[in-house]
Amino acid sequence: MSDQPDRYAVIGNPVAHSRSPEIHAAFAAQTGQSLVYARLPAEIDAFEATVARFFADGGLGLNVTLPFKQQASEYADTLTDRARHAGAVNTLARQGDGRILGDNTDGAGLLHDLNDRLLVDIRDARILILGAGGAVRGVIPVLLDRQPAALRVLNRTPDKATQLATHFADLGPVSGGGLDEASGGWDIVINAISAGLAGEMPPLADTLVADAIAAYDMIYADAPTPFMRWARAAGVTRCSDGLGMLVEQAAESFAVWRGIRPATEPVIRALRPATQ
């Protein structure tokens, strides 16, 4: 029997910025699990080959980040219900029989952070999501399950947002359109525009968050993000980046792999810069 620790990683492009190794190291220490967790960069056209090599070499699980979440859904042998609903996978787990399970923990991570840490109630809320990438596919089913009054997705490319809305139309009141259609009247505004990682955001009217009780950026950074700064300047007092979501979705992935869900609050506190 090998005494080597179990191997996990996060795969993406880019992936050098990922804080997942720190998070999972903290979870392992907290729960007494023997594992190592690394960053696994993959070329855009080499996702499947990189994943296959990782599992063939004995790896047990991967977190999947941009831009590979939909490819991961196609790669997995079996999908959980939440991954099947999302059509995107952020967690791959090698099962005892060698088959690869695909799961999506993004929605659960966002919901834990909004509900438990920020005390934001989803039920009957009017929710606006900016952006329509892979992470959005993971959160829409979970948000709709909490019965909001409305959920609207706006994207630079309107067709992508309307396609998402059509895909999830049977789950609740969801619609899609272009960013140029953005207007006010929302209780919760969630940013999922990945360009925010580079400090770039499209121009947004302050009226967009005029009625908002919360503004949430799914991107995380060491300083308040451009979206957070804009929302605060527009008068929203309850603003957060996505560090809490990142830790919460990681805890869900950890539970898939190890059968135990670690406590998240100590890890969020340890990772949160004092400047936030």
Per the model's pLDDT, the better-predicted residue between 170 and 66 turns out to be 170
Question: What Cα–Cα distance (Å) separates residue 55 from each residue in 1, 17, 86, 256?
Answer: 18, 23, 24, 16
Q: Is pLDDT of 196 > 70?
A: no
Question: Binding site: what residues are annotated?
Answer: 18-20, 65, 81, 90, 106, 131-135, 155-160, 218, 220, 242, 249
- What's the pLDDT score for residue 200? 67
Percentage of the chain modeled with pLDDT above 90? 83
pLDDT for 232-262, tens place per residue? Answer: 999 999 999 999 999 999 999 999 999 999 9
Q: Is pLDDT of 2 > 70?
A: no
Annotated catalytic residues are 69
Question: Binding site for NADP(+): what residues are annotated?
Answer: 81, 131-135, 155-160, 218, 242
Beta strands in the chain, from DSSP E residues, in sequence order: 6-12, 35-41, 61-64, 78-79, 91-94, 100-103, 126-130, 150-155, 174-178, 188-191, 214-217, 239-240
- Going by C-alpha positions, the residue among 134, 123, 125, 126 that lies closest to residue 164 is 134
Global confidence as pTM: 0.92
d(CA 41, CA 38): 10
pLDDT for 83-121, tens place per residue? Answer: 999 999 999 999 999 999 999 999 999 999 999 989 999
Average pLDDT in the 23-33 region?
Answer: 97
